[in-house]
Amino acid sequence: MTKNQPIIEIKNLSKVFPGEGVTTSALEQVNLSINQGDYLSIQGPSGGGKSTLLSIIGLLDKPSSGDYTISGVEVSQLSQAQIAKVRNKEIGFIFQDFNLIGDMTVWQNVELPLIYRGVKKAERHPLVQQVLEKVNMLEHARHLPTQLSGGQQQRVAVARAIVGSPSLLLADEPTGNLDSKNGDSVMQLLAELNRDGVTICMVTHDSRYANFAKRVVQLVDGQLAESSDQSHLASVTSGTVSESVTPHSVVIATAEVS
């Protein structure tokens, strides 16, 4: 896949959670494209639909309606087994809580996605070594997660996410449990990965960290707006946002804003 070719294409996507007598709309008619080499940040208030959208992009949940294509494949046409295979091949995940396995070493945690893929042991070794070197954690390869700081654990989580060379890296509040020093370090690492060609979609509540991204979208009450800065978003009240180009925002999505 070449640079500027869409990895993710979402059209008129909605997500509804039914309840007893009450139906909650989490996402409404969302349109979004994520291109190869992009770095997208999703911001918005709590309950605005950010994590729901990221879960759908990551094939952890399904939309109620709309179209979702990943690497040219329409997700609705896939079986559960096929979805799991695409998720394992195409997507890497970074979570706020690190989600490392406590009784496995750093090396074993990073190696695990390759084992799930059926990669032979002789082929796994250089891949794990390479990514641990990249995140400056090779010297801690035999340590358990409990022997690491929060920042170090998140670096291991990043290594685990990229060891299989996924098409897309999804980061859900990657600095949420880190102090500012470790948060800055992780964000610098993500920026470096993006410069190396890794495509990133990140959810963050921190506008300072959102500025690391090339594009920023706001998700409010399930509706999406895309802009270069917060001041422009504040002025958008109706219509369609379809083009806004600044040094930090190259917009390729059309977002309906109400």
pLDDT in tens, 1-24: 556 678 999 999 999 998 888 888
Going by pLDDT thresholds of 50, 70 and 90, the confidence category of residue 232 is very low
DSSP state of 93: E
List C-alpha distances in Å: 99 to 62, 93, 95, 223: 22, 10, 7, 29
Which amino acid is residue 138, in one-letter code? L
pLDDT band at 226 (very low <50, low <70, confident <90, very high): low
| For residue 251, pLDDT beyond 50 | no
In which element (H, E) is residue 74 found?
strand 73-74
What is the sign, positive or negative, of the torsion defined by CA atoms of 180, 94, 25, 30? positive
Q: What is the CA radius of gyration of the chain?
A: 18
CA distance 30 to 193: 27
Q: What are phi and psi of 187, to 5 degrees?
A: -65, -35
> 2-16, 21-35, 55-69 — which one is most confidently predicted on average?
55-69
CATH hierarchy code of domain 6-257: 3.40.50.300
CA distance 246 to 73: 31
What confidence category does residue 213 fall into, taking pLDDT thresholds of 50, 70 and 90?
Answer: very high
Instruction: Please determine, for residue 82, whether its predicted confidence score (pLDDT) is greater than 70.
Output: yes
Spatial CA neighbour of 43 closest among 240, 209, 194, 257: 209
Mean pLDDT (the chain, rounded): 86
Q: Residue 194 in contact with residue 39, Cβ under 8 Å?
A: yes
Model's pTM, two decimal places? 0.82
Contacts of 241 by beta carbon, 8 Å cutoff, 6+ apart: 225, 226, 227, 251, 254, 255, 257
| 110 CB neighbour count, 10 Å cutoff | 28
Stretch 53-78: mean pLDDT, rounded? 95
